[in-house]
């Protein structure tokens, strides 16, 4: 199988769904996938994990798409995977920061427990209870890390209104979280 072209291997994989066939094809470019992952993710361990995850993604994605240039298509798939990982990590850090700010202001230190799933659930519930303007501004400012100017551009509200919605929304979130502390 090593002598078959990329296109032949793709056709053979689509016909049989054989992971062995896909493995031969992926093996040709695995070092390039690792290089792209390392460039974006900056950590060797995360990049090694990503190489495995991309192979798993490839199992499904290759069956869905018509691919004429596998190397280029795989590069785009890899880059998009890495960018999603970065976005997810960034989003998680912002959410963690928002939750920590809420938690520490709500719970005395000796009562603090690392029960983040419950806290995220409460935070999601409380976010849904905000009015539309506050929810839109809080999500854009804290979760999407937009500046005040960007929130103004997205929402169409005046800067004073945006600041007010964020301040009031944060206070309402805190109050809601306090009510749901038990």
62-83 pLDDT, tens digit each: 999 999 999 999 999 999 999 9
- H or E segment to which residue 57 belongs: helix 44-64
What pTM value is reported for the model? 0.51
- What pLDDT, on the 0 to 100 scale, is given for residue 107? 46
| pLDDT of 1 | 81
For residue range 115-133, list pLDDT tens digits in order.
566 777 788 888 899 999 9
Which residue segments constitute the domains of the chain, with CATH numbers given?
6-88 (1.10.1740.10), 107-179 (1.10.10.10)
d(CA 41, CA 58): 19
Is 77:58 a contact under the CB 8 Å cutoff?
A: yes
């Amino acid at each position: 199988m090593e002598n078959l072209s990329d296109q032949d291997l793709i056709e053979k994989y689509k016909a049989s769904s054989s992971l062995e066939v896909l493995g031969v094809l992926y093996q040709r470019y695995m070092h390039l996938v690792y290089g792209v992952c390392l460039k974006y993710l900056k950590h060797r361990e995360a990049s090694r994990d990503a190489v495995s995850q991309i192979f798993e993604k490839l199992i499904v994605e290759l069956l869905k798409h018509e691919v004429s240039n596998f190397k280029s298509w795989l590069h785009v798939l890899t880059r998009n995977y890495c960018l999603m990982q970065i976005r997810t990590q960034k989003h998680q850090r912002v959410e963690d920061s928002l939750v920590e700010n809420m938690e520490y202001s709500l719970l005395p230190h000796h009562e603090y427990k690392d029960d983040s799933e419950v806290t995220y659930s409460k935070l999601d519930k409380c976010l849904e209870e905000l009015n539309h303007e506050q929810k839109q501004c809080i999500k854009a400012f804290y979760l999407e890390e937009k500046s005040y100017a960007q929130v103004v551009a997205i929402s169409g509200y005046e800067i004073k209104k945006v600041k007010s919605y964020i301040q009031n929304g944060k206070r309402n979130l805190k109050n809601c979280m306090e009510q749901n502390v038990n």
